[in-house]
Structure 1
């Protein structure tokens, strides 16, 4: 693992740009002293923020550009107009050229994926990359992928997601054989689309040594923490993510309204304040911010665009952990070792139907 982790930050990405990126980097640097930053963006906006954080300034280098990818830009437009000049592209390019180990951006998700895939390319055996995120559960956390990188996917795609997700979980959870489940509309083997059933049969038949396939998991099983890794294609994964985030916000609002209804409820809140704070910490999006683009020949971390400095620091923390534990090499090794499983899907689909 590298002694120093070099992280390229898209300092113009997200809703607030350098005003959040720089303070977020300062917070992360306090947690991980072995970080060096490349701050890519408008020097005139970066330097005033850096002046408030001397330690960060000493650990950083600025790459100037005043070109930013808009949050509403279409991926094709961003790729065409922002190549080689935008802060997002130059941050990715730093990873491509070996000047950084990780890129972190709060910018346009579609543009970030398009640029990363175009410039970094995918790993051998991976058709399409995926967004993997940490999901708070009753048992701790689970890795869930794909959260919206690509729509649809055959059995080969789902099996490759299982392998990559297991590699990430083994690093984060220190488990040599993390459990893996396929998200489905039921746990019975006859349920779901054909590609999901095929992927389940392949994972069960191959009994891969570095992951423990437990079968299908329904939507409520994600929050229960039934598996270390939950695998789905990007369409349903993104819906599940947005539904969970919306439900969490709704529950917080309903609880706030209920507390304000009477003096008795306010008094009850005072007695249960510790429990409410623990719940708030558990569901705090700032603490689980940072989706990893798995399947690329480089480590790319996507932060929410409207996140706070604390939340952006969490995304940097994810990138640091991925580089510090050499995730990319571990995924490569697992894909090579489990290549037979992927080839099995591609060359003999009739065997699993």
Structure 2
């Protein structure tokens, strides 16, 4: 990918995730090498960051932080005690227009709460949703939301997610009339929770949405829809289940390469090459980074267990969101698209 904009500035929560600076700093250096117009602000203690940097570095600034929000801390408590934390400072840099986006692998609930507090939701959006663009077996991509920001969702929230997902599909995937579906336990109209069926009724009546009905869990990677909507609890469990299965699938031939038989090793290497060629695009490391869609600014949530390759992918997601000016486009489109209905 060549130069996207004249200048890009992204704040990284260096202390977030399971591995903190050991993953974030190498990923940051990789991104700087890949994007010559990129400037990164690393938020964290310089004593932990500097030893991981080369002696001479450019387009990189360190901003000190004094604390870290733990992954197991309750969001309400984390927000109350967030002053001086690497996550809050990274978000404040976006709020103060010192950075165009923030990337963090930290506590999802705390990131959601602090983002809403500091950066605010777009008018008409009840709560932002975590969204990712997942690859499908037919080489198409599917926008999936919510992936964990909101464990419980009423029908209006699901409708808002559908509208935002459709806008993202048009903007980022260049799909003129994206197909929108709700994730459900069956395709029949009578199936599912009241909130899902109420959302379906609203979407069916909306002429601005190409609503195709319900999809079941076994159809997520088939490419049958361009936008798939669900609540955060179901979305998070579904995503992690799919990612786990893909990792097992892609690594299965490694067992063959470890056997003593030369023939088995040759067969294993051949199968690995074939599987990587046809299914390598499904590797979760390539699409790490979920955008908190519905905020007035760009916030990217990385997996807490992300390795360098995965966190680099999350930085790339931030760059793409900046390129497509996602918050402004969503705000503009939603101003006339949101239906008037009462919360359930």
TM-score above 0.5: yes
Query: CA 1:152 to 1:313, structure 2 compared with 1: closer, same or farther past 3 Å?
Result: same
Taking structure 1 as the reference length, the TM-score comes to 0.89
Aligned to 1:231: 229
Taking structure 2 as the reference length, the TM-score comes to 0.91
Aligned to 2:159: 159
Selected match of 2:42 from 39, 43, 55 = 39
**Native 8 Å contact 1:129 1:149 kept in 2:** yes
**Native 8 Å contact 1:6 1:37 kept in 2:** yes
Aligned to 1:171: 171
Distance (whole Å) between structure 2 residues aligned to residue 274 and residue 326 of structure 1: 37
Residue 36 of structure 2 aligns to a residue whose secondary structure is coil
**Native 8 Å contact 1:143 1:230 kept in 2:** yes
Distance (whole Å) between structure 2 residues aligned to residue 49 and residue 302 of structure 1: 23
Aligned to 1:145: 145
Residue 272 of structure 1 aligns to a residue whose secondary structure is helix
Q: What's the RMSD between the two structures over aligned residues?
A: 2.2
Paired residues for 1:1-353 under 5 Å: 3-51=6-54, 54=56, 57-83=57-83, 85-140=84-139, 141-208=141-208, 211-252=209-250, 254-257=252-255, 263=261, 265-278=264-277, 281-339=280-338, 341=339, 343=340, 345-346=341-342
Distance (whole Å) between structure 2 residues aligned to residue 277 and residue 137 of structure 1: 14
Distance (whole Å) between structure 2 residues aligned to residue 25 and residue 168 of structure 1: 26
Query: Deviation string for 1:200-246 (max 9, x for gaps)?
Result: 222121111xx422211111121101111100011111121122123
Distance (whole Å) between structure 2 residues aligned to residue 135 and residue 89 of structure 1: 28
Deviates more, 1:239-248 or 1:121-130: 239-248
Distance (whole Å) between structure 2 residues aligned to residue 267 and residue 58 of structure 1: 45
Compute the displacement of 1:147 (Å): 0.7
Query: CA 1:260 to 1:178, structure 2 compared with 1: closer, same or farther past 3 Å?
Result: same
Compute the displacement of 1:46 (Å): 1.8
Which sections of structure 1, spanning at least 5 residues, go unmatched? none
Compute the displacement of 1:154 (Å): 1.8
Distance (whole Å) between structure 2 residues aligned to residue 106 and residue 338 of structure 1: 32
Which sections of structure 2, spanning at least 5 residues, go unmatched? none
Compute the displacement of 1:279 (Å): 5.1
Distance (whole Å) between structure 2 residues aligned to residue 231 and residue 181 of structure 1: 6
